[in-house]
Amino acid sequence: MNGNPNPNLDALLDPQSDPLIQVNPTDLTIWESMTDAYVTLDHEWRLIYVNPAAMAMMVALAGLPSDQILGKTHWEVFPWTVGQLIEQEYRRAVAEQVPVHFETYYEPTQNWFEIHAYPSPVGLGIYFRDTTERKLAEQKIKEQANLLEIVTDAIFVYDLDDRVLFWNQGAEKIYGWSSAEMVGQKWRSLIAVESESDSIEPIIMDPMLWQGEVQRLTKSGNSATVMSRRSVMLDDLGQPKSILMVDTDITEKKQLELQFLRAQRLESLGTLASGIAHDLNNVLTPILGIVQLLPMKVPNLDDRTQHLLEILNDSARRGADLVKQILAFARGIEGKPIETQVIHLLAEIQKIIRQTFPKNIELVNDFAQDLGLISADGTLLHQVFMNLCVNARDAMPEGGTLTITAENVVIDEYYARMHIDSHVGHYVVVTIADTGMGIPPAILDRIFDPFFTTKEVGQGTGLGLSTVLGIVKSHNGFINVYSEVNKGTRFKVYFPASGTPIPAPIVEPTLQLGNGELILLVDDEVAVLEVTKATLEAHGYQVMRAADGIEAIATYAEYKREICVVLLDLMMPSLDAVTTIRTLHKLNPEVQIIAMSGLAANEALTKTVNEGVKGFLAKPFTAVDLLNVLAQLCVKS
């Protein structure tokens, strides 16, 4: 720019001065009263006017006295490090005769400035605004927004009409609905259950933080238990404008609590039974002693009296045997544990079964030859296995198949999370399964309770399974039961392996990772859905969920081109497995299905209905089993 002499403020108002730099007194009054900083530069980039707001800012930032500001160039007031950007924009404004607007960062004081420059006959009129506070607020909001997206809790905001305003990724993971699907929708119509469909007026009337445990519905129709917290958001006038909701998924926690409470109940029953057994022993001891003394004290008893004494003796001994069983349930029978190979015990039990069980019961066995050793009392294990086999016999009055298997398994963290009694490590598992009448779901949870029996009066004491559980627990093991009415029952007894007949250590299997393949997981058990989904996602797969066969068919019809494998539970409500499998096969003859079931008998079903069924997983299965079979199918596809 060509320069004029550097005028002072008086020159700006002097009517005799250069008309190019004359200033309207009205404009000057406006500038003087502005809260924004305003300066005027002449054609040599020198400050010819600085309003009070700009003067205060420059004194603070440049460290110069106020009487030394006017007449200095812009670059003398501000360091050259910011001058390059500013000069470039200023020259563009002058050259193109257009206003420019930009932001710049003043590093010495870490301040942000918003600058507007307007070309004028004088040179340039420039407005400065310190936007540091706003920038910091924006940064904080951005950091908070990022934090909301990485937390695992569901966080969403809705207005007073229940319409969703904000929906984070945690909410997407828990409920299955994406942000695009939820924003603008009424959340209660999609995820709330009936008990939570009431008015929000009570919440607004009491704007303090509310929290409670509630049931919610996911996109797949499954139920999720969440710990929900709500807080009313107020506007500038203190009036309610929206509600913030934070939900923590505690579904898995509640499942573990249920197992823990069941274990506590059995422990309480054991304590009670132990006390009863102690008192009964005190009652039976003198009875048995007197029965044995009477024939000695009164030798000339008639036959009828002697017979009555024999009945009394037998009854007292039966009572003593019951007490022993009660104690076995209460604290486990103390035996002498040694390194034991269960195959030898099972071989003895097979001989007894073949000699004493009805001929219409077929015996099938499958024992691993490299079965590990366990630390156990052989006599007590014999009692466990024999008791379970007798129960299996009684469940098949019309005949059937009794299957006994033994194998080595490795329980991983995935399995241990779903079973409170299990621990990560090596186990020997003995499975005793029948094809009998099965156990109704309503009583399955009570079968290990002492004195509980489904047999007719006089045919059972209700202490058999209680004794089995006591012995297994005393060996640090646990039992899983799977049953279906009219189809059979399977008991899986787990004992920690103390050693193995093979000198070489057991090599942990390698986990097969996915590569983003989409898996359709179909199961009506919430715990299985959640844990399996988490395992698959942690190992490189994407997962879509369905709660029954109908939902599985609808989901597969929409995404069949993307879905690699369908993981399908064979026992679900609404639609039977055979129909579901055949329908999926009609939708896509190339469909790949892995069937899952807690009943070994269902493996035969998958062989019968083999349309697309590529494998079978017996519940419970380990993460290794699951990932290996998926890797084989996804690689092939």
Tell me: the pLDDT tens digits for 340-384? 888 888 888 888 888 788 889 999 988 888 888 888 877 778 878
Instruction: In whole angstroms, give the CA distance from residue 433 to residue 405.
Output: 9
Most confident of 68-82, 231-245, 448-462: 231-245
Is the pLDDT at 244 greater than 70? The verdict is: yes
The residue with greater pLDDT, 252 or 441, is: 441
Mean pLDDT, all residues of the chain? 75
Q: Rounded to 5 degrees, what angle do the CA atoms 464, 466, 468 make?
A: 70
Whats the size of the chain, residue-wise? 637
Mean pLDDT of 613-633: 78
Say which range, 29-33, 345-349, 561-565, 628-632, has the weakest mean pLDDT.
Answer: 29-33
Half-sphere exposure of 109 (CA within 13 A, CB side): 19
Query: Is 431 in contact with 404 (CB distance < 8 Å)?
Result: yes
Beta carbons within 8 Å of 146's beta carbon, 6+ residues apart: none
pLDDT of residue 494: 93
Most confident of 259-273, 486-500, 549-563: 549-563
Q: Rounded to 5 degrees, what angle do the CA atoms 97, 101, 102 make?
A: 135
Most confident of 118-122, 152-156, 382-386, 566-570: 566-570
Is the pLDDT at 7 greater than 50? The verdict is: no
pLDDT of residue 3: 38
Number of helical H runs and strand E runs in the chain: 22, 22
Hey, what amino acid is at 466?
S
Most confident of 53-62, 67-76, 480-489, 508-517: 480-489
Helix runs in 176-250, H state only: 179-182, 188-191, 201-205
> For residue 47, what are the β-bridge partners?
41
Instruction: In whole angstroms, give the CA distance from residue 61 to residue 112.
Output: 12
Say which range, 59-68, 155-164, 263-272, 606-615, has the weakest mean pLDDT.
Answer: 263-272
pLDDT of residue 286: 66
Say which range, 228-232, 429-433, 456-460, 514-518, has the weakest mean pLDDT.
Answer: 456-460
Is the pLDDT at 558 greater than 50? The verdict is: yes
Of the pLDDT bands very low, low, confident and very high (cuts 50, 70, 90), residue 459 is very low
pLDDT of residue 609: 60
Say which range, 260-269, 294-303, 474-483, has the weakest mean pLDDT.
Answer: 260-269
In the DSSP assignment, the letter for residue 372 is: P
Q: What are 573's two structure tokens? A: 């409500």
Most confident of 37-41, 314-318, 329-333: 37-41
Q: Rounded to 5 degrees, what angle do the CA atoms 622, 626, 630 make?
A: 165
Nearest residue to 464 (alpha-carbon basis) of 491, 440, 495? 491
Residue 359: strand, helix, or coil: coil
Say which range, 210-224, 274-288, 466-480, 508-522, has the weakest mean pLDDT.
Answer: 274-288
Phi, psi of 546 (to 5 degrees): -145, 145
- Percent of the chain past pLDDT 90, that is, above it, reads 8
Is the pLDDT at 537 greater than 80? The verdict is: yes
Query: Is 46 in contact with 6 (CB distance < 8 Å)?
Result: yes
Mean pLDDT of 507-525: 79
Is the pLDDT at 18 greater than 90? The verdict is: no
In the DSSP assignment, the letter for residue 505 is: P
Q: What are 141's two structure tokens? A: 């909001």
Omega within 30 of 0 (cis) for the link into 25 = no
Instruction: In whole angstroms, give the CA distance from residue 539 to residue 46.
Output: 65
Hey, what amino acid is at 230?
R
Instruction: In whole angstroms, give the CA distance from residue 71 to residue 551.
Output: 79
Residue in this structure with the two tokens 């720019």, named with its chain if needed? 1
Instruction: In whole angstroms, give the CA distance from residue 269 to residue 465.
Output: 14
The residue with greater pLDDT, 531 or 278, is: 531
pLDDT of residue 370: 84
Is the pLDDT at 295 greater than 70? The verdict is: yes
Mean pLDDT of 37-49: 86
DSSP per-residue codes, 311-378: HHHHHHHHHHHHHHHHHHHHH------EEE-HHHHHHHHHHHHHHHS-TTEEEEEEE-TTPPEEEE-H
Hey, what amino acid is at 491?
F
The residue with greater pLDDT, 209 or 465, is: 465
Half-sphere exposure of 211 (CA within 13 A, CB side): 7
Nearest residue to 491 (alpha-carbon basis) of 376, 613, 385, 412? 385
Mean pLDDT of 457-471: 62
Instruction: In whole angstroms, give the CA distance from residue 513 to residue 521.
Output: 17
Is the pLDDT at 405 greater than 90? The verdict is: yes
Is the pLDDT at 481 greater than 90? The verdict is: no
Is the pLDDT at 596 greater than 70? The verdict is: yes
Query: Is 336 in contact with 374 (CB distance < 8 Å)?
Result: no
Mean pLDDT of 418-431: 82
What Å distances lie between residue 64 and 48, 52, 287, CA to CA? Answer: 16, 15, 111
Hey, what amino acid is at 219?
K
